[in-house]
Structure 1
Amino acid sequence: MQRTKILPFLLGLLLVACGGGGGSDSETGTENASINAGEDITVLEKSVFTLSALVSPSGGTVSWQILSGPNVEGFPLEGMEIEVTAPDVKSDSEVAFKVDYLAPNGQVVSDQVSVFITSQNQLPIPVVTQTLPSEGQSQYLDIVELSAAESLDPDENGQVVGYLWEQLSGPTLSFNSTTEQTLQFVHPLLVTNQAAKFRLTVTDDEDGSTSTEYSVTLLKADKPVIAEAGETQTAIEFDTVMLDASQSKTASGQFSCLWQQIAQTGQNTTVTISEPNKCATEFVAPDVDVTTALSFQVTVTDPNGYSATDTTTVNLEPKALGLIQDSGLSKCYDASTEIDCDDVDYPEQDADIGRDSVADFLDKVGQGRAAFDYTKLNEFADELPDTASQFSCVRDNVNGLIWEVKLSETGTLPNTDTRDGVNHYTWYVDQVSGAAYPGSVISPANTTCPSDSSCGIQTFIDEVNASNFCGGSNWRLPTYFELLSLMDFGRETGSHMLDPDFFPNLPDVSALGHLYYWTAQTSVDGRSLSQAFILDMQTGNDLAYPKANTAYVRLVRTP
């Protein structure tokens, strides 16, 4: 703001003693004091300028002070003319000065002047240095770091407050941040040496900015393709196992894969990879009896024909399926209808867990429906082909038990063969000591069986053992769970729960009105020992049955 000063000698006789005026007091003859600080001025920051005052009458004292604006060193000052150094300012500023004059007669007058200071910013200086890697040129997977820490602001009280990194050319890179003092990226996989060019723009605290450019030479990799077959895995037989080479690397980021099995240890096992030409594929872990290590190799090829291989290992462990056949159920149900076995409202059904759930993947010794696994044997316990139509015994390949196979229609009771399927017996079984188990009931000879001794179960056991049937003399009555293991609850056709391919010649239901088979388990019902458990091969039910009644018998032995 510009203000016009009125010189004291123009108005000396008109003005009384006040700022900017002068003259004389007509009554006393004393001249009134006056002062003029001059026009407002404009200067550059850090420059030297002069402030001066015109006073009347002379001989008094002049003092200067700051009313407002940035601080100026040295104030307050005295003198009619003073030299002032403009302060360093970040933006254009105004400093208001007040000047006071103490005249010889004791009068005090004042004036003001403004100095407009123009900011003169020096632009920052960008400097780029490569700080990583610390030694030598960077290679594939090295962390490369560019630093702007040496950039500076030449202003004495200035500083660099902003950074901006830009990639101008070169391979595609991924950065941690582009607005920090440092720029970091991972050296990419390259098939040729390439230069990456960057621009650094720095900004100071007065919003001044300048830029510089910097290039980094990135070296080609020794191997243009890096195959990654994945980490070693542990899986359980019948699991779905993933093979994934999608983390492989090529310069273009594009590649194809080919998987193949190359080795196994522990058990000779070959798997079928579902889609060997896909980088991420799978296979179903095969049936293994012991821990088995499978090795797989992937060949990774880029669009230019460069390729590399890598291997991975899958350790397979046997599934804890137990040493008993499963129920034979391959479908899941709610209260009335078939449902998906994944239904969370009806979890852990027979078809969803255990041996039957993986029946399609079992490596069976013999044959059988669902997960059942049987081998046919001749009268000497030698193995027969699965297609054999004549056989004497059946071996359960899960638990190793050998089962008697019945004869059919050898005559009419009691004129039948000892092992005829229609023979039936009362529950009479000897202990190891030779005495019969409590509650045993012996029945008359030549009634429900062809024996001349009796038709109790022990008589039948003794006769079969005496003949060394199927190479053994340790035949016995099966336990509840041993006999239960023969029952196939998933059979949808037929009138009984035994597989007729391995257990033929069951009697007709009409003979006794049932298909009850004795077990070795006495029923302890708190009243007596007069009953033993039977399993109904027609319905699958069990029942505590009076030992005095007759039921069918199927003997078993261990190898």
Structure 2
Amino acid sequence: MRLVPLVVVALTTLTACGGGGSSDTTPIAATVNAGADQQIIEKSEFTLLAKGSPADGTFTWQRVSGPVVEGFPAEGAEQTLTAPDIKRDSELVLKVNYQTGDGQLVSDEVSIFITSNNQLPVAVITQTAPQELPSKYNDTIVLSGEESVDIDENGSIDSYLWTQLSGPDLTVDSFNNQTISFTHPLLESNTPMTWRLTVTDDEGGSASSEQSFTLNKTLEVIIANAGEDQQVIEFDTVTLDASNSEIVTATKQCYWEQLTGEIVTLANQNQCITTFIAPDVDTDTELSFEVTVTDSKSRSDTDTVVIGISPKPLGLINDTGMSDCYNNTQKINCKSDNFPAQDADLGRDSVANQLDKVGQGDLAFDFTKLNEFADELPDDAVNFSCVRDNVTGLIWEVKAASATLPPATTNRAATNHYTWYLNSNNGVQTGSVQGAANSTCPSNTACGLQTYVNEVNAIDFCGGTNWRVPTYTELLGILDYAKQGEASLLNSEFFPNQPSNIQLSDDGNPFMPYWTSQTAVDGTSLSQAYIIDMSSANDLAYPKGKTAFVRLVRTPGE
């Protein structure tokens, strides 16, 4: 019982009119007692009995705090109630108000301590897969705790914990789910396994159950697995992996053998995991390999894997010739994540060591020397007239040596230079400027580009009459950027007899400009065309009236 201060109601003394006497009435102070605190169990009945004085008053009850109880608020001194269903021990505080006939109101509180009476859950294990029993090798076995229950009316299972007590080593998806799954392993004999399931309800009560199952033996006690078939690109590092082969003994050995396709070198034939470099291929190609897996009792099995190889999409243009990678100040490892995707780590140059070249050249460049009839010559030939780029298929003019300056030179001398003057199907191209005869070349006609193109085609040079001035991209494609700092970015072994880079100096700076066939869009006059400086690889829109060197090119078969 909790005592609450009484409320005293003041009564006004009435004085009768007439007569000579008077009297005072003093009210009796009201009291109420809610009864003693009680200790009960959830869902059990209990009785409240309040007592009040004077006896002519009325009783009303209300809940102050704690779990909700049915029947409140209520009226009357005596109340019979049922304790609520609770999840944990709780205190229910109830309050009684007592009001007397003369208007006094007093109250008292009582505490009902309710003890939770949790019933432990029941753990139930069932096997729900495979549908056809008994299970066999490679079946997915599913054990379920779904039929586990909490006996309490409003109870529920909060958590599941699976524990393997015996049996073979298994790879289980999770030990804390309502269901668990694992794969029936390879077994030499029927093997029992035992699992324990512990369930915990929402009131913290736990219970466990154990159940045993039998895993059946396998007809084959070793199963080789060479891995999934693969599709790769030439020059990729290919991994052959038989580590997922299954045996019943503790150890195994593997031996790889190539069955079909271009012979490759395996890093280690006697390891379950080995690698090789995909060979250079021109069309889609397949290689096949067989692995033999042997256990410690000399039992073995084989499996094969097919590796499809596609040509690397290197394109029909040359790479830059760069073999090193750099940061802001120095050479670095090309695999650095801070300076990724550099020339030396991409494209043809990055796989130059694996390329199957027709001829020779630095890194991925591939040139073949040709004589005046376009016949192939040995790579070490000293005298040759043209060079075929085996990447693009283009044939390039090799300039003639010159000991003098024009016009005292031969027609194809490296030192000759020309204004930009070219014809098209519609006549002379806009902006063309014809150079004077016998000025910067030994021609009696003119020293413009078209004059030189006509002279070379007229002699059926290197077996062709379709010589032309190269495009911007074509000319850029034979530059080797690794030669930065040298007099020329062309490989002098294949492009000898180059002019001096000071012959046409630009404001005193070394300069080796070569014309391209492409006009620069500079407005309606179209008076400039692109040149590329062979000493620096810089390009420039250059006035067509100035002179620059030229190296002709042609496409075979046209």
TM class, shorter-length: 0.5 to 0.7
Contact 2:502 2:512 in 1 (8 A): no
Q: Secondary structure at the match of 1:470?
A: helix
Partner of 1:440: 432
1:141/1:406 CA distance change after superposition, 3 Å:
same
1:143/1:407 CA distance change after superposition, 3 Å:
closer
Considering only CA atoms, is the larger Rg found in Structure 1 or Structure 2? 1
| 2:328 is equivalent to residue 335 of structure 1 | yes
1:544/1:185 CA distance change after superposition, 3 Å:
closer
Aligned residue among 409, 413, 419 for 2:406: 413
| Same amino acid, percent of matched pairs | 51
Residue 273 of structure 1, CA deviation = 2.8
| 2:478 is equivalent to residue 486 of structure 1 | yes
Residue 222 of structure 1, CA deviation = 3.5
Q: Deviations over 1:31-57 (max 9, x none)?
A: xxxxxxxxxxxxxxxxxxxxxxxxxxx
Residue 328 of structure 1, CA deviation = 1.3
Aligned residue among 365, 385, 388 for 1:392: 385
Partner of 2:279: 286
Aligned residue among 540, 552, 555 for 2:552: 555
Unaligned runs of 5+ in 2: 1-123, 147-159, 200-204, 506-510
Q: Deviations over 1:137-187 (max 9, x none)?
A: 6543346799999xxxxxxxxxxxx9999766x755667899999998754
> For residue 466 of structure 1, what is the amino acid of its counterpart?
A
Q: Secondary structure at the match of 2:503?
A: helix
Residue 128 of structure 1, CA deviation = 12
Task: Provide the C-alpha distance between the structure 1 equivalents of 2:141 and 2:542, rounded to a whole number of angstroms.
Answer: 85
Q: Deviations over 1:65-92 (max 9, x none)?
A: xxxxxxxxxxxxxxxxxxxxxxxxxxxx
Contact 1:411 1:417 in 2 (8 A): no
Q: Deviations over 1:448-506 (max 9, x none)?
A: 22222222111111111111111110000001111011111112573110011111110
Task: Provide the C-alpha distance between the structure 1 equivalents of 2:458 and 2:247, rounded to a whole number of angstroms.
Answer: 76
Partner of 1:457: 449
Partner of 1:259: 256
Instruction: Show the 5 A alignment for 1:280-429.
Output: 280-409=273-402, 413-429=406-422
Instruction: Show the 5 A alignment for 1:93-172.
Output: 139-142=136-139, 172=169
1:375/1:202 CA distance change after superposition, 3 Å:
closer
Partner of 1:243: 240
Task: Provide the C-alpha distance between the structure 1 equivalents of 2:525 and 2:197, rounded to a whole number of angstroms.
Answer: 100
Q: Secondary structure at the match of 2:483?
A: coil
| 2:532 is equivalent to residue 535 of structure 1 | yes
Task: Provide the C-alpha distance between the structure 2 equivalents of 1:388 and 1:299, rounded to a whole number of angstroms.
Answer: 51
> For residue 224 of structure 2, what is the amino acid of its counterpart?
A
1:224/1:492 CA distance change after superposition, 3 Å:
farther
Task: Provide the C-alpha distance between the structure 2 equivalents of 1:198 and 1:357, rounded to a whole number of angstroms.
Answer: 57
> For residue 354 of structure 2, what is the amino acid of its counterpart?
F
Residue 305 of structure 1, CA deviation = 1.9
Aligned residue among 489, 492, 498 for 1:497: 489
Q: How many residues align?
A: 412
1:310/1:545 CA distance change after superposition, 3 Å:
same
Contact 2:226 2:290 in 1 (8 A): yes
1:167/1:508 CA distance change after superposition, 3 Å:
same
TM-score normalised by L of structure 2: 0.64
Task: Provide the C-alpha distance between the structure 2 equivalents of 1:231 and 1:545, rounded to a whole number of angstroms.
Answer: 58
> For residue 431 of structure 2, what is the amino acid of its counterpart?
G
Contact 2:127 2:143 in 1 (8 A): yes
Contact 1:260 1:298 in 2 (8 A): yes
Contact 2:475 2:516 in 1 (8 A): yes
Task: Provide the C-alpha distance between the structure 1 equivalents of 2:215 and 2:388, rounded to a whole number of angstroms.
Answer: 74
Q: Deviations over 1:374-421 (max 9, x none)?
A: 122121112222222222111111221110111213665334322221
Residue 557 of structure 1, CA deviation = 0.4
1:482/1:223 CA distance change after superposition, 3 Å:
same
Cα RMSD (Å): 4.0
